Structure 1
Amino acid sequence: MTSEPSIGSDHAAEQRFWQELRHTTQARIGLGRTGDALPTQRVLEFRAAHAAARDAVHTPLRVDELIEQVTGLGLGAAAQVSSRARDRAEYLRRPDLGRLPAESPVGEHALSHVPHSGAEIGIVLADGLSPRALTEHGPAMVAALIEELAPRYSIAAPVIATQARVALGDHIAEAMGVATVVVLIGERPGLSVADSLGIYLTHLPRPGRTDADRNCLSNIHPPEGLGYAQAAKVLAGLVSGARVLGRSGVDLKDTSRTDAVGEGEIISIGPGPR
């Protein structure tokens, strides 16, 4: 005669099942319940994550500190630009203003203070929807890009952009005179990750380029997300492929793990403050 499993043993088995799955994802799964509601601990965790995401969006970028860190990487003194959005509230309400450089006095070019280097690669660090992500990962990510790209390409002095969307990088790149622009930008915070950094690559950038003309690496936030060295390697492969194809975007593949352009994994447009 066999005995039926007890309720307690079923519960323990269920908890083990969910615990093993939680090791593979940051998503909220198997939260359990107390009556018809979530357990108090899970509710508190959700509220804390929501508060962290809001803080990531609204906390201002520490520009002076970031300029000092990035300038210390040896590419030259970092310039600073702002978008046409006058403050954070307008930036969130008007994405279109975040794609345009701030207006300058009459007769002066909006980006006249950005040095025209004519380098092959330009790097723009944009606060995006998570200045926290740029603060925590921007300098280390630029250092990894320098290590990967500098032996092969000339790199212009970086530019820091505030209240910025991805397309602002096209205007900055035109002023820099670079062949390829790499925009590091804080991605839209979620309830699992509030400090995720994205990289958008545009070859032959100019105002009017669309998302179809770009390639994106997202979810950069080691140790849980993509690491700096790995992201830099993939980006270097994309730069090489773009120079061969003469364009970036939907036709460009990730060639960091292949020998031929046009094979491999597509790096698609991911989540971000476009």
Structure 2
Amino acid sequence: MRKRLTPYLLLVPQIILTLLFFIGLCTGIIQSLGVIPAFDLTEPTLQYYKEVLTRPDMLTSVFFSLYIAFTSALLATVAGVFLCMLLVMSDKAKGLMMRIVQLPITVPHVVVALFVINILSQNGFLARCAYALGMIRDQKDFPVFIYDTHGMGIILAYLWKEIPFIVYFTIALMANINNNLGEAAVNLGAGRWTAFRKVTLPLCRNTILSGFLIIFVFALGAYELPLLLGATSPKALPILAYIQYIHPDLRHRPYAMALNGIIIMISLLCAVAYFILMKKNIKGLSDKK
């Protein structure tokens, strides 16, 4: 009897956390529609979403977050696939090299932000080196990489962790395909690079796109790096949502939930795309069998 109950008992913490998550999600969606009885807001409305998508300050934050997320995800995917290709082609997809590649994944984003500040700020390590070498007259002449309106510091910090993630996410499949179908193409007369480009890479496409979606959604909803490395304006969506949430006027809370609702909707679209890609991957593996 105890053995039969054990699996269900082990699921209890997961069920509780799932329920709390869905309760919070539903509460946030309801509040984003302007329904907060404690604040005398009882009529559902899409006015808050409309204002978020029309007010210049909030719309700028939406575009800024999309820009940061898309740019960092795209650059990380391209660089990660290129690095993955080098590792696979040099037969270093396992062992010490992979341990080194995976190391940045374990570093928290707050620590990465401190690294970026100490290295890339105008009084950081690189600025001091450039000044000592006579490349710049003053440390203020060093290019602005952090706290800038283009979010360069945020993007660079994301790349620190996202490039190794793409490598870790795709290298097992890429190495397996290259060692089987890729070698078969080489035996039939194709060059190694041609076989990789026309055989291995297309077969890894869905997995690569899945990795892109994961890091895109993460960067879109992340709070730490935009807070620590971002400019005063524009603000990323999660930061603006938090500011609206703690606003002294509690009637601003639906704005915060509407901003979060936009993140949720984009994340759901990415989740659907991810599900479709994974379904194609599973179908492709079953067809091979």
- Measured against the shorter chain, the TM-score band is under 0.3
Q: TM-score scaled by structure 2?
A: 0.26
Q: Which structure has the larger Rg over C-alpha atoms?
A: 2
Q: Which has the higher contact order (CA 8 A, sep 6+)?
A: 2
> Which of the pair is proportionally richer in helix?
2
> Which of the pair is proportionally richer in strand?
1
